[in-house]
């Protein structure tokens, strides 16, 4: 029989379970019966561990210990799954060394036998015992000295250090309050010898209000840093408004004003290094303020040093303004605590998004910012509009969008006028004239009731003859068509009607002897959508002289054409202006009345060609249809006004000179 002796120490702590003992299988050493079971667990007190020593193992052997088995656990971790027969030497070598718990942990085992064994096995026997743990051997639990005792350990510190509240780390005793001291030195502990490790030093400095602390490092400066300049140990100076540092390395920092009567010098070290530290001189001077009140500004007056009660004008740099004040400058005064007051930020001028109500106007890059010096570029959404005015604007220092020409007026999108997407080259007769194709006269509008014509001059306004609309409050206009019955026509509802104030209204046809100022403007109720078949005609240019300039023009309309019939189709024809003498001397009889010829009229036609009843209010345009181009667009020279009775016609019609009404047209549109 193998005899073992065990030493059990008497512990100075209360333990609820025995400190040592035996655990063995049922029936040991005579052998265990089928279906035998055994469960056991012991836990170590704090500062101790518990171990098992197997002295005997004889359990039915099986593959993977599937039949009979002894399983040993540490907590929930399985340490061994045992079966078969092992000598004490084998157990001592391969099993027992691992059968120990963590400090304060538990060991447990389970033994299970199945229903039968071929031969009888004696089972197992093991001795358990608790042991004091030497925590000081487990690692760096203490920053300096570790003292083990049965059931625990204590940390302690060398002279000059104190144990922190965590009871593990030691700090050097280097916290000082220097309040009231006007001059002195602050040095690393132990200077000039190497400073201690794990130091957390704090030196508080405080002087009277109106004074400021001036700090200067003197002598050798040696504070541990990494090769890349990152601080391992560091010196830092903190004031209520600013932090200086951290400083480290071997390059001595310069002197500096704190602009404060209060500062704390902090010195922090790790647990390595043999560096000499630093020496810092502190003294006082009259309080001064920094030479910058707020970033991105200049101070007036400019002096080397601003002291308590000095006042300055702070002017923001160009393109910046004072927050909340929307001014470029403000006044500030140096206070007794070394700070300026008041202090405002200089923030960038923001022009904001331009306020435009033109639905066709669009910014090319809408995500662009709106701050000082940013740019925007305008364009028109539709190809049937063109930009009028400058296209590129820059946010200036006054917060205004300004173009390169110096204008702050945003551009407008005005309809493209006087151009067609189709052209014609042959001629015909409006009385018996040629039928127009779609898009050839895209400014032509039809008024079905009362029967007449009109010309679109932009996307909201049209021109017609005053006598067509003088008795009307509202009516419908049709555009974008060459067939008066076209169901796909662009339908436009009239809004306000502006008859020229010089036109004599309210007369019956039998009473009228003058069609002077026979012109009217129609403001549509909504903007018309422009397209290939709906395009305005241009107004005449200033100072063009006579309406047709001895050239051919084109007159168009849905009026009477042959044998008194009103045309369902849009027809056009070329006409030429007659001389004023011709217009005056040929018959001007209408309803048995001699009609007055005025300087606001011209007459035109050619043999076999004329406008007629139902064409009133329609356009006379130049150049002749089919020859318009971008640098010579179609312009509205005349409005079909009146003509002699058919028996006296001589193929001659009278037209209102649009040239004479440009100011009235533009002012009416502008004011309405």
Count of the separate structural domains present in the chain: 6
648 known member of a binding site: no
Percent of the chain with pLDDT over 70: 91
Q: What does the DSSP assignment read for 307-357?
A: ETT-EEEEEEPTTEEETTT-SSEEEEEE-TTS-EES---EEE-B--S----
Instruction: Tell me whether residue 249 is in a domain.
Output: yes
What digits encode the pLDDT tens for the residues 392-444?
Answer: 999 999 889 999 899 999 999 999 999 987 543 333 334 446 889 999 999 99
304, 335: one domain = yes
Q: Is 152 annotated as a binding residue?
A: yes
Confidence of residue 93 (pLDDT cuts 50, 70, 90): very high
Asked if the structure places residue 582 within a domain, the reply is yes
Q: What's the rounded Cα separation, in Å, for the pair 82 and 2?
A: 21
Residues recognised as catalytic: 467, 518, 616
Is there a single domain that holds both residue 581 and residue 448?
yes
Q: Residue 552 and residue 625: Cα distance in Å, rounded?
A: 9
Using one digit for the tens of pLDDT, what is the confidence trace for 583-633? Answer: 888 777 776 788 899 999 999 988 755 455 558 999 999 999 988 888 899
Helix, strand, coil shares of the chain, percent, nearest 5, are 5, 40, 55
Taking only the tens place, the pLDDT of each residue in 140-150 is 678 778 888 88
The verdict on residue 13 lying in a domain is no
Q: Is 133 annotated as a binding residue?
A: yes
Q: Three-state SS for 46?
A: coil
CB within 8 A of 90, min separation 6: which ones?
Answer: none
**443 and 302, same structural domain?**
no
In this predicted model, which residue has the larger pLDDT, 568 or 235? 235
CB 445 within 8 A of CB 455: yes
568 shares a domain with 479: yes
Q: How many residues does the chain have?
A: 672
pLDDT at 652: 80
Q: What is the CATH number of the domain that holds 411?
A: 2.10.70.10
Q: Say if residue 1's pLDDT is above 70.
A: no
Query: Has 270 been labeled as part of a binding site?
Result: yes
Domain boundary residue among 133, 158, 183? Answer: 133
393 and 373 in one domain? Answer: yes
Q: At 27, which CATH number?
A: 2.60.120.290
Q: Determine the pLDDT at residue 215.
A: 95
Q: What is the pLDDT of residues 158-196, one digit of tens each?
A: 776 788 888 888 777 788 999 999 999 999 988 888 988
Among residues 317, 348, 379, the one where a domain terminates is 348
Task: Give tens-digit pLDDT for 117-128.
Answer: 888 999 999 999
Residue 596's alpha-carbon distances to 329, 436, 512, 659, in angstroms, are: 71, 33, 10, 19
**Which residues lie across from 458 on neighbouring strands?**
none
Task: For residue 229, count CB atoms less than 10 angstroms from its CB and return exposed for 0-12, middle for 13-18, buried for 19 or more.
Answer: exposed
Q: Is the Cα dihedral 324, 327, 328, 333 positive or negative?
A: negative
Average of pLDDT values for 88-99? 94
- In a domain? residue 356: no
**Strand-pair partners of 85:** 58
Contact 287, 211 (CB under 8 A): yes
Are residues 51 and 107 part of one domain? yes
Q: Estimate to the nearest angstrom the gap between the alpha carbon of 434 and the chain centroid.
A: 60
For all residues of the chain together, what is the average pLDDT?
87
The response to whether 234 counts as a known ligand-binding position is: no
- Measure the CA dihedral 282/283/289/295, to 10°: -20
Using pLDDT thresholds of 50, 70 and 90, give the confidence band for residue 73. Answer: very high
Please indicate if the annotation marks 483 as binding a ligand: no
9 within domain boundaries: no
Question: Which pTM value belongs to this model?
Answer: 0.55
Residues 164 and 187 in one domain: no
Q: pLDDT for 458-474, tens place per residue?
A: 999 999 999 999 989 99
Residue 272 lies in a domain: yes
Q: Is residue 488 part of a domain?
A: yes
Both 495 and 639 in a single domain?
yes
Residue 100 has pLDDT above 60, yes or no: yes
Q: Which residue has the higher pLDDT, 72 or 559?
A: 72
In a domain, 549, yes or no: yes
Same domain, 149 and 188: no
pLDDT of amino acid 117: 80
Based on the fold, state whether residues 465 and 409 are members of the same structural domain. Answer: no
Asked whether residue 198 is marked as a ligand-binding residue, the answer is: no
Residue 406: give the domain boundaries: 361-415
Residues 125 and 141 occupy one common structural domain: no
pLDDT at 338: 81
Q: Does residue 338 share a domain with residue 304?
A: yes
């Amino acid at each position: 029989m193998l005899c073992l002796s065990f030493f059990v120490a008497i512990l100075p702590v209360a333990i609820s379970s025995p400190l040592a003992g035996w655990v063995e299988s049922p029936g040991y050493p005579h052998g265990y019966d089928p279906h035998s079971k055994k469960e056991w667990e012991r836990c170590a007190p704090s500062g101790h561990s518990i171990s098992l020593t197997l002295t005997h193992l004889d359990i039915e052997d099986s593959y993977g210990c599937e039949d009979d088995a002894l399983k040993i656990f540490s907590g929930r971790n399985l340490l061994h799954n045992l079966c078969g027969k092992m000598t004490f030497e084998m157990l001592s070598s391969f099993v027992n060394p691992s059968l120990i718990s963590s400090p304060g942990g538990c060991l447990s085992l389970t033994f299970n036998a199945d229903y039968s064994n071929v031969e009888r096995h004696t089972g197992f026997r093991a001795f358990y015992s608790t042991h004091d743990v030497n925590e000081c051997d487990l690692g760096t639990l203490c920053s300096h000295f570790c003292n083990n005792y049965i059931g625990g350990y204590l940390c302690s510190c060398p002279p000059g250090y104190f144990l922190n509240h965590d009871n593990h780390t030691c700090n050097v005793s280097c916290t000082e309050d220097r309040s009231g001291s006007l001059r002195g030195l602050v040095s690393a502990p132990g200077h000039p010898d190497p400073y201690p490790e794990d130091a957390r030093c704090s030196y508080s400095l405080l002087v009277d209000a109106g004074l400021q602390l001036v700090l200067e490092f003197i002598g050798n400066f040696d504070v541990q840093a990494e090769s890349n300049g990152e601080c391992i140990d560091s010196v830092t100076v903190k004031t209520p408004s600013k932090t200086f540092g951290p400083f480290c390395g071997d390059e001595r920092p310069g002197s500096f004003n704190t602009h404060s009567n209060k500062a704390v010098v902090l010195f922090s070290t790790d647990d390595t290094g043999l560096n000499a530290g630093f020496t810092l001189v502190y003294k006082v001077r009259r309080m001064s303020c920094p030479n910058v009140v707020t970033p991105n500004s200049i101070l007036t007056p400019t002096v080397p040093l601003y002291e308590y009660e000095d006042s300055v004008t702070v002017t923001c740099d160009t393109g910046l303004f004072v927050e909340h004040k929307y001014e470029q400058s403000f006044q500030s005064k140096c206070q007794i605590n070394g700070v300026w007051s008041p202090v405002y930020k200089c923030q960038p001028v923001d022009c904001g998004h331009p306020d435009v109500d033109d639905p066709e106007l669009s910014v090319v890059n809408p995500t662009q910012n709106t701050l000082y010096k940013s740019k925007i570029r305008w364009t028109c959404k539709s190809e049937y509009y063109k930009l009028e005015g400058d296209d590129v604007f820059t946010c200036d220092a006054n917060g205004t969008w300004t173009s390169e020409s110096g204008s702050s007026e945003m551009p407008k999108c005005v309809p493209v006028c006087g151009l067609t997407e189709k052209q014609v080259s042959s001629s015909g007769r409006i009385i018996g004239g040629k039928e127009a194709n779609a898009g050839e006269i895209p400014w032509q509008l039809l008024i079905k009731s009362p029967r007449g014509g009109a010309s679109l001059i932009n996307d909201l306004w049209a021109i017609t003859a005053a006598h067509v609309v003088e008795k009307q409050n509202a009516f419908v206009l049709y555009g974008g068509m060459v067939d008066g019955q076209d169901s796909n026509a662009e339908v436009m509802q009239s809004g306000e009607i502006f008859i020229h104030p010089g036109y004599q209204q309210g007369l019956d046809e039998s009473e009228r002897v003058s069609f002077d100022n026979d012109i009217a403007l129609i403001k549509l109720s909504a903007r018309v959508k422009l397209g290939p078949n709906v395009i305005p005609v241009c107004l005449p240019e200033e100072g063009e002289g006579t309406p047709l300039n001895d050239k051919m023009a084109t007159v168009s309309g849905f009026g009477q054409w042959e044998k008194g019939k009103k045309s369902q189709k849009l027809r056009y024809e070329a006409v030429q202006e007659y001389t004023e003498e011709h217009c005056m001397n040929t018959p001007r009889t209408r309803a048995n009345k001699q009609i007055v010829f005025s300087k606001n009229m011209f007459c035109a036609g050619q043999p076999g060609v004329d406008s007629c009843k139902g064409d009133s209010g329609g356009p006379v345009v130049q150049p002749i249809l089919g020859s318009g181009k971008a640098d010579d667009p179609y312009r509205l020279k005349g409005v079909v006004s009146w003509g002699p009775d058919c028996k006296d016609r001589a193929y001659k019609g009278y037209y209102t000179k649009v040239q004479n009404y440009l100011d009235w047209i533009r002012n009416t549109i502008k004011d309405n």
